[in-house]
Structure 1
Amino acid sequence: MRTGHHLLSRLLRSAPGWNAAYATAAISSAGASLLLPMTLGSTVDSALTGRPFPAFLLCAVLLLAALAEVAGELLDARSTVQGTAWLRYRVLRHILSLDLGGQRRFLPGEFLSRLLQSTAETARLMPAAVGSLTSLATALGGIVGLLLIDLWSGAAFLLGVPLIFIIAKGLLRRSTQLTEDYQQAHGDLAARFMDAMQGMRTIRAAGTVERETARVLAPLAALRTSGERYWRLQRDAGWLLSLIAPVVQVAVLAIAARGVMTGRVSPGELLAVTGYLTHAFGIFRQVGVLAQIGQVRGSANRLRAVLDIPPAPAGGAPLPTGKGTLSLRGVRVEAEGSPLLDGIDLTFPAGSEVAVVGRSGVGKSTLAAVAGGLLRPDAGTVRIDGADIADVDPASLRGKVVHAFEHPVLFGTTLRDAIGCADPGLADAAIASALRDSEAQRFVARLPRGLDTPLTSLRTSGGELQRLGLARAFSRDARICVLDDATSSVDVVTELQIARALRARPATRLIVTHRRSTAARADLVVWLRDGRVAGFGPHQELLADPGYRALFPVWPREVATVPAGATSPTEGRPDQ
């Protein structure tokens, strides 16, 4: 994995105006703080010797320091907020641009942790970088001031500097790694929590609340360990510094005081030495600043791991005209080194209805995702009307290939938005037709506000939700329809009515199913076994294979097709 340095440089350039203003305020504050000891010292010496000294100069320095500090605080917050917004937009947009293969690299909770926590930490880059540079500049200015006022006092301070760099080097390296470890444990905790929230009904039904609570909270041990190691790292650095700093401070002040007694240093210069010594001690505070930079770097590395996942290709030629002929050649899909699909060679004629069957885990949904362009195969090609979809403009592809899923998610503010989410401003006639074909019009009509029902107040059964997902797909004039178990929660009579409406469409229809009746109605059936095609042909022909028959419960008679207006005798039985 590449480090996040490139991302950090992009972040610094994301808001040049605000960042420049923040840097100017920080530099002004540092400059005023360096002028203050010298100005105070000159004022004291002038008062003691009776020499005139312009009081307005001291007031101007104090005013500049106050204004620069206030501006710096405000711009610090602005820079952090601006950087967080920029990072979250960039990371979220990248996550949503990934195909299914890229999205499976991390669990949803991991993505969420990186999107929220890692972006907030990384956005501290500008304050951390400016704070580090100005603190270092102020510290160096303080050292130079000490050396100019009294060479011996400055030399005494410099004796302690090498120890600081030794401590700081180890702190930066270890704080970066500990930040990554901490956020990794936090992401694991978030992923487990999201899983538990999605399966809340199952947890309650199984009575496994205590066991699931323990599972979700298991990463807390690693989280605590990483956090404690980080704070121990800072503690160890802190006590070392707390031993070094007083010794250096006493030595410098003792030498300067001796200089006052011998006349080498004036009283005003002694006051200036005290001020510059405070600034010079900023070199010791670099340890804490470097720890913060380590946090920024560790968080940036975690974001870089997400941004390094290649997005789905953009651009390309429009999909050529055609009727929806779909072909797959040599398609292979892998996950963690194991094949999900291997050696898939299939051609689906335009306008045909193809059922995809097989036991759980054999790659049915993976095949549907590859055929519809949601998942890029690791090898092989997918062609629609002769065009390799890898070379087709995604917008053109999405306009002619629609999907409906087993667990659809509705987007938008109202039900109208949800159905037309891919086509804002979709005509009411098209929405009404889609609701009719998906058998959703009756329950939508019963809603008090109909299509204007807010999604936040919408309560649906599993079958109703699936029908809304189908309506979203049916609202588009598609060339290919991919239904991935999209009617599994719909009763068999309603499914048959949906199937009739679907068959009336000129599109090629790829239907992942567990129902024998759906396979019987299809023109062709793809039978998958262990990621390979075990059989391809009409349902009635595949029934000659005992392995295919074993996919469905045995009943006294099997129906190959269902005439229009008829209901399969297998519909409504327990296996359905």
Structure 2
Amino acid sequence: MPAATGAAGHGEKAPVPPDRRPAAPDGTGPVRGLLRRTLPYAVPFLGRRRGAVVRLGCWSLLESVQTFLGGYGVAAALDRGFLAGRPWVGLGWLAVAAAAVVVGGAATNRVFHHLAGLVEPLRDGLVRRVVDSALSAAVAGRDASGGRTAVSRLTHQTEAARDAFAGVVMVTRSFVFTVAGVVAGLAALAPELLVVLLPPLAAGLALFAAALRPTAARQRDYLHADEELAARIGTAVSGLRDIAACGAQGRTADAAGELIDAQTRAARALARWAAVRTLTLQLAGQAPVVLLLAAAPWLLERGVTAGELLGALTYLTQALLPALNTLMTGLGAAGTRLLVILDRLTSQDDRPPPSGTAPRAEVAGGGAAGAAPRRTASPPAAARPRTAPPAAPHGGVPVLELRSLSFSYGPGAVPVIDRLDLRVEPGEHLAVVGPSGIGKSTLFALAAGLLAPAHGRVLIGGVPVRPPDRDPFAARRALIPQQAYVFGGTLRDNLLYLRSGGAPTAAVDAAVRAVGLEELAHRLGGLDSPVRPSALSQGERQLVALARAYLAPARLTLLDEATCHLDPAAEARAEHAFAERPGTLLVIAHRLSSARRADRVLVLDGTRAVAGRHGELLRRSETYRDLVGHWAPRQPHDR
């Protein structure tokens, strides 16, 4: 990238849209695969808690009695009381129906009490499973996330599973016992009512059951799309500085746009199946009401009374329709979500994240910080032949010039850079040193065009530097920050990101050898093997970043502590490689050895800047002497 970052590597495959995911490897569909993996966990779990299930069923029977008496009491009140001229009998039956409501409310309260006997053990079991899995992964060295995945599962997914499971149990139990009460009530009133009302109810339930699998699949796709988009945006936000440095805003936006489009397609597909759920509700809940009214003359001819018709209508509107609505809403949302979460929590292996979750817009470096050890020392650079990459396509070697450069963070702030004049000659190796916070990274950001100077000018090859996204000569420079980024393509994709037209194999191999990337490439299985950024140490990510910049056409390279996670030998090898590569090198030095390798050293001390060779600066700069005195005790090992 021109300054530090890259988008999708050359040849990187775009993430598979969630609504076009292939079936499971064993040939099953996504929902069938979910059921195949989760049912072996759920069935034994319910079997071990038969007592809680039986208690729930017993209390739910009282709700069935409430449903039965609700419609039957209305029918008896009309036929045996009000229409028969005995209003007190009618009022008595209505009182019985009202008492049944009170009893049903008390039963529902006990149901919630005993529901904890199922829900809390489920949560406890999932927590134990997550903890055991996390500990096993940590012991085996398979957890590159530092335990963050386990924390997310413990704090969010297990709670979501508990809530969803409770909702599914409640709505399913309520519907089953409500239907039982309705069917018993209709049969007690007049069997002819069942002939009219059961067919549309059965048809609606069958359609709803048939729609559950595709609805669950769409719910799963939507969750995947949402997670991939969140991961992509989160990583892009953490790398905004590097994205701006390379002018990769457009490509980053395009990559995010692909996932946004995929999420939109998944949401629309889920909405379409939600419409099917509405249709099933109309067929199972509203169609029986219409049929009852349409068949009323026929039913009256067969001896069905007005009270029985009113009782049937009460069953449909006051019991069956609300229960259907609750069931279809609960199973259509909470049920499918529960399936997906249980699949993840009960899976035996921690599968790596899908390739689409890693950003395609990254710096000349690696992903989030991992727990892997630092890169070990590589063979000294002098022991290897060095091969430079092909000459830059734009030709010419830029010269960096700073003319009366000043910059401060805010109108009233003390300048970080104050009237700095500097000329860096073609092919020169310049080290920049100074106390922490003195403005070294700010200077590099100004040189890369990421910051605009308050006064003065920055020129490369005599041309004023502009922001990377508006600078036609941005490819002349490459800023490599301390926090390097790697995207989730192959290792070759990462190296070729800044070479949009590709590069010969010999040039790629030369870049790998030059910065000491051979060991990592061999461990990963070659340049065409996939890279998991979270599995790389910070030093390994920095090596990938350095090789990417080495292969890039840029001829002004700015290393903003881009080797701080390498050991001294690996750092020396990388700096030697860039010093011998055609072009100009600027390095923020954090070791004395790095400063001594440079042709010149620029010392920033807050009041003035001094440039010169090592021996000269020891005489002229008190700040440099202090830094050397600070570094000197560690010089033999340079830790």
TM-score of the two chains, using structure 1 as the length reference:
0.48
TM-score of the two chains, using structure 2 as the length reference:
0.44
